[in-house]
Amino acid sequence: MTATILDGTKVAKRADQVFQETVQELKQHQIIPGLAVILVGDNPASAVYVRNKQRRAEKIGLNYQLFHLPVTVSQDELLELIQRLNQDPQVDGLMVQMPLPAQIDAMVVMNTIAPEKDVDGFSIANVGRLWSGMFGNFPGTPRGIMRLLHEYQVPIAGQHAVVIGRSDIVGKPMAALLLRENATVTIAHSHTRDLRSLTRQADILVVAVGQAGLISGADIKPGAVVVDVGMNRNEAGKLVGDIDFPSVAQVAKMVTPVPGGVGPMTITGLLEQVVTLAQRRVEQND
């Protein structure tokens, strides 16, 4: 068997067209959806991601603002900027790119962003909303992955989904969204015993660890859907995921590539969130 590629680049392009039309309609209501991104310091990977976000946000017609602060900025200065943007009616969505320098407490930063504007969904209010089945802002990566699975009509209800990784930005919210759509969800992590006996049971396997080559074809169930969230650099400086793609593609029914899989869909998840917030602004005005 050779797996179908879950083409994040293609699905992201299609989603951008839909968002672009929605933004046009919003503009007829005198509403321009606004996204503000705060970038602290000069981490090269962050610079790439933020550039990709800006390109996509501008393409769909968002009012995009980047606030680039020096690596030496104090926590108080950062919090002051966040509070100002919390008050700014032009800003529907606000996010602070991670990672942050050591003098800044990321937890405090995330919980200073107004929950209604927290498009990353990292604040405790949104985490609570996610796990209690309410409407809320949820993290871009799992949102984008759900959209990708839906586009390829992957069945979710009743399926056994195994998520490897329990981070607050991917593993946990991924498990919550799969559970909300009635998957049977197992979360595995570094303390899990006999990981491979679990991965071989997965109908949907999401790998979000940050370890190249962690999962190969022998570790998965034939016909599984495999989502690779890993972003690792190999010796040649090339971006590689957490799975051994060639062997997995021999056994899986569907698999995401890296790059061109989850990465572009992460931005789709974010843009979807911003557009949704601006749409609610119209509903409130009506």
Rounded least distance, CB 221 to ligand GUE, Å: 25
120 has catalytic annotation: yes
Is 262 within 8 Å of 230 (Cβ atoms)? no
- Taking CB under 6 A as the rule, does residue 52 contact ligand GUE? yes
Taking residue 23's Cβ as centre, other Cβ atoms within 10 Å add up to 23
Site for ligand GUE in 188-227 (CB under 6 A): none
166 assigned to a ligand binding site: yes
Give every CB contact of residue 91 below 8 A, 6+ residues apart in sequence.
Answer: 34, 35, 36, 65, 85, 117
Rounded least distance, CB 208 to ligand GUE, Å: 11
Per-residue contact flags (x/-) with ligand GUE for residues 101 to 130, judged by CB under 6 A: -------------------x----------
172 has catalytic annotation: no
- The phi and psi torsions of 271 (rounded to 5 degrees) equal -65, -40
Q: Which member of 98, 114, 125, 154 binds ligand GUE (CB under 6 A)?
A: 98
Rounded least distance, CB 89 to ligand GUE, Å: 22
First to last CA, the chain: 53
C-alpha neighbours within 13 Å on the C-beta side of residue 166: 8
159 has catalytic annotation: no
> Which tokens hold the place of 215?
């999962």
Please give the C-alpha separations between residue 104 and each of 109, 110, 113, in angstroms, as whole numbers.
8, 11, 14
- Taking CB under 6 A as the rule, does residue 7 contact ligand GUE? no
Does residue 131 sit in helix, strand or coil?
helix
Instruction: Summarize the annotated binding site for NADP(+) as residue ranges.
Output: 165-167
Query: Catalytic site residues?
Result: 53, 97, 120
Positions in the binding site for ligand GUE (CB under 6 A): 48-49, 52, 95-98, 120, 140, 239, 258-260, 263-264, 266-267
